[in-house]
Structure 1
Amino acid sequence: MSDIVLSKGIRSNLLSLIDTAGLRDQTQNRLSTGKRVNTALDNPGNYFSASQLNGRAADITNLLDGIGNAVQTLQAADNGIRSIIKVVENAQAIARQAQGSASTQARLNGVTPKLAGVPTALTAQTSLSSYGFTVGDTITLSTGTTVNATTLTIAAGMTVGDLVNAINNNTSAAAATGAGVLIGTGTGADARASLTPDGRLLMEATGVQPLQITVTPSGTSTAPAVAAALAGIGFDATNSSQPAGKANQTRTDISVQFGELRRQIDQLAKDAGYNGVNLLNADTLQAMFNEKQSSSLTITGARISTDRDLAIKPASNNFQTDKDINDALADLTFAMNKLRAQSSAFGSNLALVQIRQKFTQEMANTLKTGADNLTLADMNEEGANMLALQTRQQLSTQALSLANQADQGVLRLFS
């Protein structure tokens, strides 16, 4: 080719065609890829900036899987708690049903106490001495034909609450208010004591035994005095003893149902896990929010079980006494409050994780948009460029043809 001599006009038009073809190829590449910066040669600054933005967007997008798992784990825990709340509500309903079925065990249901002749409700803080009991008097609650008895020897400052605790504790190791004085005995009465809402002292046998309360005077007291003191707190000769009762089958059946509901609560808590993490079994969940692992949320679960955080004890004495039912209802109320508080905590964490999930999605989109702004081609502009280049190519071809005609004129001189 170096031996062929081209005229100035032809060479100029050839160079123009080559430039146009190069620009056309570049425009076609932009139209096919949608980018005006495809390699570092196109625009080094924009290319590497866009690469960094796209890289961070990819890292953040990868975090979305972990955040999504955190959302599902929290939702699984919340579903478990809401289901457990329904079971606890059911347990409350059947406990109240048992309460509505009158106890058939022996029970000493004292009348409204009188203080100085005035009806006065008892409280746990009511002083026994205010009703005439003196230091050294002995209150005994006995059950059964082979007597099991709880004995409380009055010491200074003792209250109705001490008497209730003596009956319910039934242990010689429980110290009373008075120094060195013991509440109860190792073979205490098979009974429960409580204060009714209207301030009466209620004592109930836990089995089918007779029940009796008596007072033995101290050396400085008399039998009439202690009898008057006993009557003062609601028990005179007519209601200080009751014959053996019988078990209430309705309450027994309900206690069995109560036990099954406790089991279902534990099973629900065990089944509330997601992807190997169970927040109702005190597992820990960590949600990572940025690619540097410097932003995260750690969520610690709770041990939602009847013998741990919920503290719902088994039905005592087959629910034969009102106190046992009231204790169960108190446990259920505590458990309900615990569940609602934990549900609120999980709900707050769930809302926060969902906020971060949306933020992460939007941040990844912002980064990708920024990278696209640096590299994407304007398709309208590139389409117009392609049309202009095609026109220029056609014109250059025509110009090359005209330049070539000059050489052909010289050829005609020799023909």
Structure 2
Amino acid sequence: MATAISSGVRNALNSLTSVGDAAQAAQQHLATGRKVNTATDNAVNYFTNISLNSRADQFTGLLDGMSNAVQTINSASKGIDSITTLIKSAQSTVKQMQAEATANRPTKTGTALTTAAESALTGKSIKDTTLDKLIGGASAVTATASVAGNLGAGAGVATALTIVSGSSTYTSNALSSTTSTVRDFINEINKSGLATASINDSGQLVVNGVGSNTVQIGYGQAATNAAALTAAQAGTGNTAFGLATTDYTTGVSASGGNSAVRSNLIQQFNDLRTQIDNLGEDAGYNGTNLLAGNKLSVTFNEKTGSDLNKLDVQGQTITSSNLGLLTAGTTTTATTFNVQNDTDLSTVSDALTTALASLKSTASSLGSSLSIVQARQDFSKSLISNLQTGADSLVNADQNQEAATLLALQTRQQLSQTALSLSNQAAQGVLRLF
């Protein structure tokens, strides 16, 4: 049968039980550091905490991909920096080639246009006597103290000087068959921009090309400009200036042929070109090389489908060929430039400048992508911290508050025990009646 308990004892016992349960809960909060340990503690906070922490974990995983992306872009960027250095070295090599131009200039020295006897008659040097001579006349006239003399280049009404260098042509009808001097002839050649001319101390006409291309030079006189041009293209008047008629039909070739310095720089240039290719191949990270045309995809959020947020970084294949750099050699082909040809060197120099501009553009694009990834990386770190802080605030216990609560409950527990003891003593008073 049930044992009867007095109301006072029952109340004291219930109070002690309640305080004990509260003290046990406070002790668990202190031990775990959490006020919500199971769904029964607070279902809303418990499951919200799980959801927030799950999203934080997903972003933590995405951070690894962003970190790899940063390193991949940095590797490509450093590769571009190194390739830029090699391009600049190639520019220096080409400049050395261009500086060694003298041996590649076509030059022609004609026969003497003035004799020492004429110089004695005029009282001037052979050079000055030659410069003062007229170019026209049906036949040559000796220079004297009172006569300037002439070369006898012809008595036609019209004159023509024509110069061809590579794909460029200069034609002039400015000279006069009766009044123009050798000095005027020299000046007209120098105006062409394709060749330079002078009279040396021996009274010889010296013609030099300004580039390495063969120079064709011809002079002619006739009744009309058209006929004079035809005569010039046949070089009919060249002999008056000590030149050969073939100096127009076949041209003045480069004296000495090739520059040894330029030839010696071929391997140096080609080695730089090879290293540009090697650098482009080695600029990858973790299997992705943006300088080999690979594509890098960086995911920024945990969603899928149209809600997925990502960045695609399309790489470019950086090779010497793609940068427009031909191989150095001694011939001009579709893939090779001739180091002995000034026009080829100028073309290569322009290609190197264009390559630098292209690399700068690529570096700028990579820099923009890197800024985006780093910004999203920083944002993700902040978001993870925010999610974790929010999740913790829902379930974590206030240690100071829980400790104070436990202390108060322990005090109440002692008081409840005292109250229970007093209640029991009141019941024991009945025994004294026996």
1:367 aligns with 2:387: yes
Q: Secondary structure at the match of 2:403?
A: helix
Displacement of 1:106 in angstroms is: 5.1
Number of equivalences:
329
Give me the whole-angstrom Cα distance separating, in 2, the residues matched to 1:289 and 1:255: 49
Give me the whole-angstrom Cα distance separating, in 2, the residues matched to 1:373 and 1:230: 100
Query: 1:255 corresponds to which letter in structure 2?
Result: I
Displacement of 1:105 in angstroms is: 3.2
Instruction: Tell me which residue corresponds to 1:299.
Output: 313
Instruction: Tell me which residue corresponds to 2:194.
Output: 200
Cα deviations across residues 174-221 of structure 1 (Å, max 9, x unaligned)?
Answer: xxxxxxxxxxxxxxxxxxxxxx9x943657668xxxx5626699xx95
Instruction: Tell me which residue corresponds to 2:56.
Output: 57
Give me the whole-angstrom Cα distance separating, in 1, the residues matched to 2:352 and 2:61: 44
Give me the whole-angstrom Cα distance separating, in 1, the residues matched to 2:218 and 2:85: 47
Which is greater in Rg? 2
Cα deviations across residues 39-61 of structure 1 (Å, max 9, x unaligned)?
Answer: 11111122222222222121122
Cα deviations across residues 7-30 of structure 1 (Å, max 9, x unaligned)?
Answer: 222222111111111111111111
Describe the shift of the 1:296–1:43 C-alpha distance in structure 2 as closer, same or farther (beyond 3 A): same
Q: Secondary structure at the match of 1:292?
A: coil
1:88 aligns with 2:87: yes
Give me the whole-angstrom Cα distance separating, in 1, the residues matched to 2:40 and 2:430: 46
Displacement of 1:301 in angstroms is: 0.6
Give me the whole-angstrom Cα distance separating, in 2, the residues matched to 1:237 and 1:299: 68
TM-score of the aligned structures, taking structure 1 as reference length = 0.71
Query: 2:380 corresponds to which letter in structure 1?
Result: T
- 1:35·1:375 contact (CA, 8 Å) conserved in 2? yes
RMSD value, Cα:
3.3
- 2:23·2:406 contact (CA, 8 Å) conserved in 1? yes
Instruction: Tell me which residue corresponds to 2:344.
Output: 324
Between 1:16-25 and 1:44-53, the stretch displaced more is 44-53
Instruction: Tell me which residue corresponds to 2:148.
Output: none
Give me the whole-angstrom Cα distance separating, in 2, the residues matched to 1:354 and 1:237: 75
Instruction: Tell me which residue corresponds to 2:327.
Output: 314
Describe the shift of the 1:82–1:50 C-alpha distance in structure 2 as closer, same or farther (beyond 3 A): same
Cα deviations across residues 274-305 of structure 1 (Å, max 9, x unaligned)?
Answer: 11110001110011111014111111011110
Displacement of 1:230 in angstroms is: 8.6
Describe the shift of the 1:85–1:140 C-alpha distance in structure 2 as closer, same or farther (beyond 3 A): closer
Q: Secondary structure at the match of 1:299?
A: strand
| Unaligned runs of at least 5 residues, structure 1 | 110-130, 142-149, 151-159, 165-195
TM-score of the aligned structures, taking structure 2 as reference length = 0.68
Query: 1:42 corresponds to which letter in structure 2?
Result: D
Describe the shift of the 1:361–1:199 C-alpha distance in structure 2 as closer, same or farther (beyond 3 A): farther
Query: 1:59 corresponds to which letter in structure 2?
Result: Q
- 1:315·1:324 contact (CA, 8 Å) conserved in 2? no
- 2:77·2:363 contact (CA, 8 Å) conserved in 1? yes
Give me the whole-angstrom Cα distance separating, in 1, the residues matched to 2:51 and 2:212: 79
Cα deviations across residues 255-288 of structure 1 (Å, max 9, x unaligned)?
Answer: 2100000000110110000111100011100111
Give me the whole-angstrom Cα distance separating, in 2, the residues matched to 1:52 and 1:405: 55
- 2:77·2:366 contact (CA, 8 Å) conserved in 1? yes
Instruction: Tell me which residue corresponds to 1:272.
Output: 283
Instruction: Tell me which residue corresponds to 1:289.
Output: 300
Q: 1:251 aligns with which of 262, 265, 281?
A: 262
Give me the whole-angstrom Cα distance separating, in 2, the residues matched to 1:75 and 1:229: 64
Query: 2:344 corresponds to which letter in structure 1?
Result: D
Instruction: Tell me which residue corresponds to 1:181.
Output: none
Give me the whole-angstrom Cα distance separating, in 1, the residues matched to 2:235 and 2:349: 30
Cα deviations across residues 156-181 of structure 1 (Å, max 9, x unaligned)?
Answer: xxxx65x69xxxxxxxxxxxxxxxxx
- 1:108·1:204 contact (CA, 8 Å) conserved in 2? no
Give me the whole-angstrom Cα distance separating, in 1, the residues matched to 2:355 and 2:230: 46
Instruction: Tell me which residue corresponds to 1:169.
Output: none
Pairing 1:206-217 to 2, within 5 Å after superposition: 211=214, 213=216
**Percent of aligned pairs sharing the same letter:** 40
Give me the whole-angstrom Cα distance separating, in 1, the residues matched to 2:242 and 2:24: 116
Cα deviations across residues 75-127 of structure 1 (Å, max 9, x unaligned)?
Answer: 01001001111111111112112222234235269xxxxxxxxxxxxxxxxxx
Displacement of 1:247 in angstroms is: 2.7
Query: 1:18 corresponds to which letter in structure 2?
Result: T
Query: 1:21 corresponds to which letter in structure 2?
Result: G
Query: 2:23 corresponds to which letter in structure 1?
Result: R
Describe the shift of the 1:132–1:368 C-alpha distance in structure 2 as closer, same or farther (beyond 3 A): farther
Give me the whole-angstrom Cα distance separating, in 1, the residues matched to 2:326 and 2:58: 49
Give me the whole-angstrom Cα distance separating, in 2, the residues matched to 1:68 and 1:315: 41
Query: 2:284 corresponds to which letter in structure 1?
Result: G
Q: Secondary structure at the match of 1:282?
A: coil
Query: 2:67 corresponds to which letter in structure 1?
Result: G
Describe the shift of the 1:7–1:60 C-alpha distance in structure 2 as closer, same or farther (beyond 3 A): same
Instruction: Tell me which residue corresponds to 2:30.
Output: 31
Instruction: Tell me which residue corresponds to 2:106.
Output: 107
